[in-house]
Each structure stands twice: as C-alpha cells, then as structure tokens.
Structure 1
C-alpha cells in the first residue's frame, strides 16, 4: 500500500470522491421525497433520526475521513477512498433491503478501483466487499432474511465474476496502453527521421548552408511576405569567389573544397540570425537579408568581403581569396526574376570592374 499517486490518479481520486458525495446527496433526496410523497411505514422521528440523518452523517464522516487521509497521507488516499466507498455501499444496502437489486451496490468500490488500473487495488476492493457481504448477513437479520439460499451463493459469485472481469479489463487496458506507446514511439522516430531527411535535402553537405532548391523556397516565401507587408522589405545578395577556377586548376579540388567550406563558415558567422544563406551553385552563394535596412545589408556584405580578403590559406600557399558581390533591394514594382537578375548583374559588374568589391547599384 505504498504506491505513489500520479497527477492523473490524484485528479481521478478527487472525481471519485465527488461522485460519492453525489450518491449520498441523491440518496438523501430520494429518501426524503419517498417519505413526504409516498406511503411510508416508519414514523417521522424514526425516519429522520434512524433512516435519513444518522446514515447520511455516517457516510459523510467516512468521506471526510478519506479526505483527511488524502491530505495527510496521499499515498493511502485511494485505499481510504475504497474503504469509504465500501462503508457507503453497506449503508445503502442496509437501508434499502426491500429493493431486490440493491446488493449490486456492493460493486461500487470495485468499479471505482478499475479507474486506477491497478490490480492490487481491485483485489483490495473485492476483499472489502466480500467482508461487507458477510457482515451484512451476520449483523443485520432483516437483510439476511430477505435473501434466499440462492442469493447467499449467487451474490458472492457475482462479486467474484465482476472482480475477474474488472481485472481482465485492466489487463487489456495495459496491453492497449503499451501498443499505443509503441505506436507513438514509432511515429516519433519516423517524424525524427523525416525531419533529418528533410534537413539533409535542404542543406548543402559541403558548406552546411541551404542548397539552391531550398533557397528558391525561401525566396518565394520572402517575396510573398514582402508583397503582404511592403514596409518590411529584404535584400538579395549574390556572392562569388574570385578566380575560383584557377584555384581548382592550380591547387586541386580538395583545396577548392576547403576554400568553399571556410567561406561558407565565414558567411554563417557574419550574417544576422534572420538571414537565409545558401550555396547557389559551384562557388556562388545567395543570401536573403530579411527585414534589413540598406546600411545593415551593405555592412554585412562588406564585413564578409573584408574578412575573406584578410584570411591566408595554407592550401593556397598562404594566399588569400577575394569575393565579389551584388546587392539588390526588394521593390513591390518589380518581379521576383527581375530582382534576381539585378543582383546577378551587379555581381558581374563587380567582377568586370576589378573584383573584390560589392556593387549595390548599376
């Protein structure tokens, strides 16, 4: 009896406790209405003291005691709740012996225990109800005399069968919970694999930047956002490594890959968090500077260009590589293709006019 309640179990224990109060309230009103409006053999004094108020106070005291246990010793709250339910069921059966089906109320704690999916609790509740039935038969002759010999055998058998059914339901419930857990875990693993595959499909393996296809997806989104929010524009920058073909021809493709990796690392380091940096193809890079002002866009591109020109590469015998770039601003009046063509034209203007420079206007 030392199990600790989970948050959900504590919540459902509170609901069972409230349901017991509802049962007491419904019984109180049913007895009172029966006395007031139906033929009743007991006198008013006997009814109010022995049948109505006394038992109601006793059942309420049992629930109050269960509430105290719940507050002081939470790990025993379910057991105290089942004991209180057993006392309530015994009281209701004793008061309504003339109702033939009333013995079915002995199932109340057993049904309540199923909510918590613990076989030990159900066996405990079943033991309480067997003891309650024996107590009713021994201590209350009116109840015993009302039962036939068949009832004396059938009622315990009925309790036993219901206990077995409750246990079977819990076992099946545990199996379903395990199956659900396995299914959810498999689904989570599948989603993680999908996310990893999607990321791999978006990222260029050598540079760690977005690839060309992913760039066009982000370019489309940025364009649509710019159309809906003209006040929040963006800049498109195209960067090209100068004389990269001669690097490959002179020092080999491994050296060229190393240069690409270092330049892309520099781009990742210097672009703002809301920028989208991509390897557009070969030695060319495309950057979407979202929500940037002109001075910020130019400052970012110049920082990348200057830092690149200052790095000496052992792969190239201590030489540096330079970058040329073209920058174009989003304008609602021009199309997406025209914006790209503007940035591309400015990139080639930078190359034709001496390289290692940024061109922002024709």
Structure 2
C-alpha cells in the first residue's frame, strides 16, 4: 500500500542529504564533547570526556559502509538510509549512556521511514529500532543504575506508539493521494473533453479543416492585428471546378471523397502559420501569413498543380481542377472589401477558363 513518492520528489538527492545529516550528527557529538571539555577545563575539573571514543570510531566505520552500499546498490538504497539512521541512533546512545533523554533518538529510523511514504519501510524501521533498543539495553544500559526494566518497557511503548502513528500517517497519506489522483484524473478528462469539443466546434467533420465559423473568428482577429500593427496577409478562395457535375455524374459519396482529397492536399501544402478552412460546399479558403504576395501565389500554384495531377478512382481515374482568387490585405482594407476582392478574382478565374489563379485587379494567369 501507499503511494510512490519517487514520482513526486528526487529521492536520490534527499537520500544524500540524509547521509550528510548522519555525518553532521557525528560531528555535532564531537563538537558537543569539545564544548564539554572546555567547560571542564575552565572549572579546573579533571573529568574530561574523550573526543574520539571506540564508539565514535565504530560509527564512522559503519557510516563508511553505509556510504559504500548506497553507492553500489540502487534497489535497496532507501532501506540502507534507514539502517544508517539506526546505526547513528545506536552509536549515540552507546557513546553517551548517562544521558537518558538520548534514548528518544532511537525514533529517528521511524521518522526517516515516514519520508518514503511506504508502509513496509515503516514496519522495517520499527523492527530495527526495537532491535537497537533491546541490544543496547542487554549489552550496555542494564549495567547502569539509571536504567531499569521499566525504562525498557516505556521505550518499547514509545516506539510502538510512534510506529502506529507513522502507519496512520501512511494511511492518511494514501487516502489523500487517492483523492488527488481522482481529482487530477477528473481534471484531465474534463480538459481532454473540452479540447475535443473545442476542436469539433471549429473543425469541419468531412475535411478536418477549420470550419466557416472558426475561419471568420481567426480573420476578424487577424484584421484587428493588421490595423494595429500594419501587418499584411493574403486571403485566397479556392473553388473546385464543375463540382456539381461530379456529384450528378458519380454521386455525392464520390464528391465527398474528392472534397477530402482536395482538403488533404491543401493541409499538406500549407505551413503551420497558414490557416486553411472549408468555407462552404466545394469552396475552400486559405489565409497566408508571414510572407509576401509572390510567395503566397507560388504556394497556391503548387497546390493547384498538385490537385490537377491527382486522379480519383471514384471518378474513374479522372482528375479535378480548382480556380483560385487572391486578395492581398493591406492596412485600411475592411473585411467586406477583402472578401469582395477575393470573390471578384475567383469569378475572373472561372470566367477565363478555370484551373488558374487570379489576383484581385490582375487577370494574368500565374
């Protein structure tokens, strides 16, 4: 049970901080002993405490082993860190047996295990803390008058209560994480649904291009930006030639296939900065941005030629062509003027034989 905290924090970095904390405890004990000796010296007392005892040496050697295991073993690093806490706790109590309050340091492994939010590690830390307590008592503390069997029982109860509290924290943490996961999942589902709904609202179902409504929303914003920052862009209207004849001769299903093929060609041949849309029926629209008129015309001609070269099985191998009208937007041009110019150019392309590109006020075939 429990949740995987590895997904939330960088545990290797925190394990390293814990190991540094263990070394700091050893250093702190040496500094404390030094301060004690200084006080003794100032009082002209001869009861000095040794700075480096056998217990201190054993703690340092044990920590070096912990460091080595932490370096070479990846899968059990967390347990090694917990054992390191037990080693420090054991060594500190063993070094200063006369300080009865120091017994509470045996709770350190349990505190450390809470950090990992895994029940099995809390149980492991509780067992190892009890083992340290009973080992200390029977091999050292029982020979000191300050300790009795009642202290052993009391400390056992303290560790047991601490372990139970840690397990309760785990349970509550798991419950909270369950609610958090549920909330995140619900939020993600809602976000995905909103994205899908937004896409459906702005996309033509047949061609998967932007629809008429999305096209006008984008164009309105673009004209607003054009007026404010003096930007230019090109509006192109594309119409499939003799499309009614295609539907009448081969059926509407064949017509739909042709519409999808033309739309796919347009989609494949425009850049990410351009805005292709199905304007209605067999008519498409493209807004070209970030380019000059000559570049837009070059792209449109490539689209026109590519469509002309495609043969459709639904039309018994025949191809379709498109006529294109283009209007280059400049500051001061209204939306109505822009469409009117593109429409007139498209009409000119149709009148002059279709399958061509015409720019507003220009009748030259591109």
TM-score by length of 2: 0.82
Equivalent residue number for residue 214 of structure 1: 214
Equivalent residue number for residue 157 of structure 2: 157
TM-score by length of 1: 0.83
**Structure 2 Cα separation of the partners of residues 24 and 60 of structure 1:** 8
Equivalent residue number for residue 182 of structure 2: 182
Residue by residue over 1:123-178, the C-alpha shift from the partner in whole angstroms, topping out at 9 and shown as x without a partner, is 33222222222222223257742134532321111111211221222233233333
Equivalent residue number for residue 84 of structure 1: 84
Task: Tell me the C-alpha RMSD between the 2 structures.
Answer: 3.2
Secondary structure in 1 matching 2:116: coil
Worse-matched range after superposition: 321-330 or 171-180: 171-180
Q: Does 1:43 align with 2:46?
A: yes
Question: In structure 2, do the counterparts of structure 1 residues 220 and 21 end up closer, same or farther at CA, with 3 Å as the change threshold?
Answer: farther
- The aligned runs of 1:228-267 (5 Å cut-off) are 230=230, 233-248=232-247, 252-267=251-266
**Structure 2 Cα separation of the partners of residues 127 and 275 of structure 1:** 67
**Structure 1 Cα separation of the partners of residues 143 and 347 of structure 2:** 103
Residue by residue over 1:224-266, the C-alpha shift from the partner in whole angstroms, topping out at 9 and shown as x without a partner, is 5545765x74211011233444554565433433332232233
Residue by residue over 1:311-332, the C-alpha shift from the partner in whole angstroms, topping out at 9 and shown as x without a partner, is 5656567765442221112312
**Structure 2 Cα separation of the partners of residues 179 and 133 of structure 1:** 38
Q: Does 1:128 align with 2:128?
A: yes
**Structure 2 Cα separation of the partners of residues 42 and 220 of structure 1:** 91
Q: Does 1:27 align with 2:26?
A: no
**Structure 2 Cα separation of the partners of residues 167 and 40 of structure 1:** 48
Residue by residue over 1:241-298, the C-alpha shift from the partner in whole angstroms, topping out at 9 and shown as x without a partner, is 3344455456543343333223223322333443221001122211012222322211
Equivalent residue number for residue 15 of structure 1: 17
Equivalent residue number for residue 274 of structure 1: 273
Residue by residue over 1:47-97, the C-alpha shift from the partner in whole angstroms, topping out at 9 and shown as x without a partner, is 134xx5554443232222100111122334333333332232123224444
Q: Structure 1, unaligned stretches of length 5 or more? A: none
* Residues paired across the two proteins, number: 354
Worse-matched range after superposition: 277-286 or 118-127: 118-127
**Structure 2 Cα separation of the partners of residues 317 and 134 of structure 1:** 92
Equivalent residue number for residue 119 of structure 1: 119
Secondary structure in 2 matching 1:74: coil
Alpha-carbon contact 1:12-1:115 (below 8 Å) kept:
no
**Structure 2 Cα separation of the partners of residues 75 and 322 of structure 1:** 65
